[in-house]
Amino acid sequence: MHRWGEDKTLDIIKPCPNFKTHKNLIQIVLLLLICDSSIIIYPCRVLSQSRFFEFPLLTLNFVLRILSCFLIIAITGSSRKIALMGQREKSSNNHSSRKRGMGRKDQKGGRGVDRDSNKRNQSNDAANVKSASKKQSEFEHQNQFVRKEIDPETSKYFSEIANLFDSNGVDLEERSVICGNALEETRGREYEIATDYIISHVLQTLLEGCELDQLCSFLRNSASVFPAIAMDKSGSHVAESALKSLATHLENPDAYSVIEEALLSICKVIVEKPLEMICNCHGSYVLRTLLSLCKGVSIETPEHRGAKSSKALAKRLNLKTSHSDENNLEFSHQGFPDVFSYLLSGILSCSREDMKYLQVDQCSSLVLQTALGLMVKQDDELLEIIPLVLGCNSANGKEEGVLIETDVAKEILESLKDNSFSHLMEVILEVAPESLYNELFDKVFKNSLYDLSLDRSANFVIQALISHAKNQEQMGLIWEELAPRLKDLLEQGKSGVVTFLLAASQRLQSHEHKCCEALADALCSKNETRISIAPRLLFLDSYFYSQDKSTWEWAPGAKMHLMGCLILQEIFKFSSELIQPFITSLTSMKPEYTIETAKDPSGARVIEAFLASNAASKQKRRLIIKLRGHFGELSLHKSGSFTVEKCFDACNVALREAIAAELLEVKADLLKTTQGPYLLRKLDIDGYASRPEHWKSRQEAKQSTYNEFCSAFGSSKSNFPKNTFVSDAPEDASQDVEVENTRKESDHRPTSGVKRHREEHARDKHVSFAGGKGTKQKKSKTSEATTDKPATKKKPFLSGDMIGKNRHSNKLRI
């Protein structure tokens, strides 16, 4: 039998004494596995170069086998690590590590409100991903600037300025002069200085503290390289600081012309090659800031960062009483409409051929979302822009009345499962004019609602589609597709679709009774009693994920399901005749379950919604009594204080006295909390402590006054909740939905409940009785004014020229 010789063995081991390369590690493992007999007979000969001591033969054989296993694991792990590092290096060219405002942070509900499906896939279409990566690499290859090295004197100069500002030894006048001189030093070297990691921080401070003329001069001088600065990791912060500093000077009306000139110089450079900046993660954010600034909208909004605000979700779920201002933006200044139109039309005109790529790219999709969101209620312009964004060739489509072609509708349907495109489609459905929405509904979504609802990305689009349904006919079509499979949607974790279905039913007053019945059937079989509907909704995931649903029980100490609680809130907006099973289930819970529900932030909102409903007073008191003895504990929590306030308003005088007594015991602790002083003032705990009998008589007087008012003016169509003593203003903070499931304290006023109630009643009387004629007269005057104006033919949005036009001119052409 041939044995390996000493020389041959050492030749393999010698090149790698420290085991540093994968090639030599593999050789050693093979040697240990193959040459087993040689190792047993000649252990010292093989290991002499590694300085091992001589062991017994069997023990050494066992040790070497263990060592070979570890080496194999190390080689496999190292190879996998290198592969991952290679993938990261490739992906770093497409998406930088700094994604400030780029992606929607998947936070407790994400952009939609389906908590179990908020982690959307980045892209479900491999072909789209491949083409997007190739296209983006082309754009980034075109944008490679040669950055010159900064000389030591310049670095020292800006370093001294930074030290001077940090020492706080400069007054405001000197600071302005220093900023102006330092910005003048950047002339001709804006790109190099702005993209330097260290000096860029100093430049941000200079731009924030300089005068308007100095700021605009810097922007005009750097306009030719502004896109390159914005696409740099450090330079993007400089560009953002410059734009935000411009916004602070807009309080002065005389500054508009100077700022407009600076913005226009930047936009002219951007529209030459907009795709480079749109598809860059840093440039995309700066471009969205620029669009918001030109439109006059605050740039510190959640929508600007790519997130969905809690107010928008509250409006979708009908948690706001007024829908007249559903799409109103918060304008901080009048903006620069011509610059905005010039920039947007230039971007869209240069992007027609690459629109399919821009739809599925994360960075460019966010730019399109921002642009569409800023043009809300501008129907004429949106009818031109949205078909273009969707990839339609709408040259003659508008004249024929067809905006979405059939083949494009199929492509849209396939792309809805892409993460970036689904976000874009949500915004389109939100801002689309009614005619375009109806066309999208019929050509794209009809007969595909259930399949899309099961997708992790497309289900958010279905939520937006349902929440913006225009009429009862559309609600009927939605109901026919989704109602038979309501239980399947809940089992698949798509409870957000069910929530918006209930909200749309209540808003459009269509299929209300059927919705309540279908939901109850989905939660309880026909053989089961419906007493457990409310607990199962409070712990929706726990119930549907349990193996044996018939033996499911309350989960003590577990966090309640956000979507299940939102479903109950929507249910309690329906008429009490339709939701008796839900009311009975909630009021029949054990006292310890009711207390636990009140302590949970989401569960507390369910109790508040029930107390604000038109359920009978007897049913409300039945639930309030179960909380007796725990009002003091609840009031110390920010969410529980709202519940205590609602309980106080909904109960009789005897229970109010019990609540006041409990709060008086914890008054010292309440004063240390944020919400405590208001709650003590609202319930007049000091008055109860000093003169209990007088406090009680006042509460009885208020009760009788309110009852007389309800008997005189209340009706089934009244806006005042039945069986409620004093209803809060519609803007009560307890009706806001926070996606992060945290409650912010509202700005309460010390006005008494009766005074606020009378003011609301007087305002309602004025609107209902005095507003009739005034409204008609106002409408007639408006109609007369519109008929007197000569008819002017409005030019399309995507046709305009900014150069040589006045600031308020809408005649733009590319």
Answer yes or no: is pLDDT of 556 > 50: yes
Residue scoring higher pLDDT (254 or 501) = 501
Q: Are 105 and 307 in contact (CB under 8 A)?
A: yes
Highest mean predicted confidence (pLDDT) among 20-24, 76-80, 379-383, 395-399: 379-383
122/360 Cα distance (integer angstroms): 9
User: Is residue 488 pLDDT above 90, yes or no?
Assistant: yes
Category of 378 on φ-ψ map: left (φ > 0), alpha (ψ -120 to 50) or beta: beta
> Which pLDDT band, with edges at 50, 70 and 90, does 271 fall under?
very high
Mean of per-residue pLDDT scores for the chain: 76
Q: Which CA distances in Å does 777 have to 761, 764, 765, 783, 785?
A: 24, 19, 18, 10, 12
The C-alpha angle 506, 511, 517, rounded to 5 degrees, equals: 100
Among 11-15, 419-423, 666-670, 795-799, the range scoring the smallest mean pLDDT is 11-15
Closest CA to 374 of 321, 431, 415: 431
pLDDT at 725 over 50: no
Residue 486: pLDDT band with limits 50, 70, 90 = very high
Give me the percent of the chain exceeding a pLDDT of 70.
65
Q: For 297, list phi and psi in degrees, rounded to 5.
A: -100, 145
Residue 399: per-residue pLDDT: 47
Over residues 368-390, the mean pLDDT reads: 93
793, 380 contact by CB (below 8 A): no
- Is 745 or 699 the better-scoring residue by pLDDT? 699
pLDDT, one tens digit per residue, over 689-706 is 999 999 999 998 888 887
Number of residues assigned to the chain: 814
Could you write out the DSSP letters of every residue in 230-273? HTSTTHHHHHHHHHHHHHHGGGSGGGHHHHHHHHHHHHHHHTTS
Residue 230 has pLDDT above 90, yes or no: yes
Q: Examine the pLDDT at 65 and tell me if it is beyond 70.
A: no
Assess whether pLDDT exceeds 80 at residue 462.
yes
Sign of the Cα torsion 682, 688, 691, 696 reads positive
Strand ranges (DSSP E) for 705-748? none
CA angle at residue 376 from 375 to 380, to 5 degrees?
Answer: 75
| H or E segment and range at residue 632 | helix 631-635
Question: pLDDT tens-digit profile of 127-157?
Answer: 444 444 445 555 554 555 667 788 999 999 9
The mean-pLDDT minimum among 496-500, 643-647, 713-717 falls in 713-717
d(CA 463, CA 316): 9
Coil, strand or helix at 22 = helix
Q: How far is CA 697 from CA 662, 708, 722, 803, in A?
A: 19, 17, 23, 74
Structure tokens at 471: 């009429």
pLDDT of residue 789: 43
Interval 762-773 mean pLDDT:
42
Position 244 pLDDT exceeds 50: yes
DSSP 485: G
8 Å CB contact between 533 and 581: yes
Q: What is the model's pLDDT at position 764?
A: 46
Tell me the CB-side half-sphere exposure of residue 581, using CA atoms within 13 A: 19
- With a CB cutoff of 8 Å and minimum separation 6, the contacts of 417 are 124, 125, 452, 455, 457, 458
The pLDDT-based confidence of 290 (bands split at 50, 70, 90) is very high
Nearest C-alpha neighbor of 351 from the set 267, 275, 279: 275
- Residue 546: count of CB within 10 angstroms of its CB: 15
pLDDT digits (tens, 9 = 90+) for 575-620: 999 999 999 999 999 999 999 999 999 999 999 999 999 999 999 9
Closest-CA residue to 609 (of 319, 387, 349, 394): 319
Measure the CA–CA gap between 634 and 638, rounded to whole angstroms: 8
Residue 208 has pLDDT above 70, yes or no: yes
Distance in angstroms (rounded) separating the CA atoms of residues 236 and 234:
5
Using CA atoms, how far apart are residues 424 and 369, in angstroms rounded to an integer?
6
Q: What is the DSSP string of 302-335?
A: TTTTT---HHHHHHHTT-SS--TTTT---BSS--
| Through-space distance between the first and last CA atoms of the chain, rounded to whole angstroms | 87
Please tell me the predicted confidence (pLDDT) of residue 714: 63
Say whether 11 sits in a helix, a strand or coil: helix
> DSSP 3-state helix, strand, coil percentages of the chain (rounded to 5)?
65, 0, 35
User: What local confidence, expressed as pLDDT, does residue 310 receive?
Assistant: 62
**pLDDT of res. 806:** 44
Cβ(240)–Cβ(282) under 8 Å?
Answer: no
Angstrom distance (rounded) from CA 375 to CA 335 = 13
pTM comes to 0.72
Picking from 627, 669, 667, 633, the residue whose alpha carbon sits closest to that of residue 648 is: 627
Query: 49: how many CB neighbours lie within 10 A of its CB?
Result: 12
Q: DSSP of 50-69, one letter per residue?
A: GTPPP--HHHHHHHHHHHHH
Amino acid 599 reads: K
Whole-angstrom distance, CA of residue 43 vs CA of residue 786: 103
Rounded Cα gap, residues 260 and 256, in angstroms: 6
Phi, psi of 810 (to 5 degrees): -105, 5
Q: List the chain domain ranges.
A: 6-92, 152-354, 472-523+530-542+558-569
Mean local confidence (pLDDT), 535-563 = 91
- The CA R_g of the chain, rounded to the nearest whole Å, is 34
Two tokens at 404?
């979405």
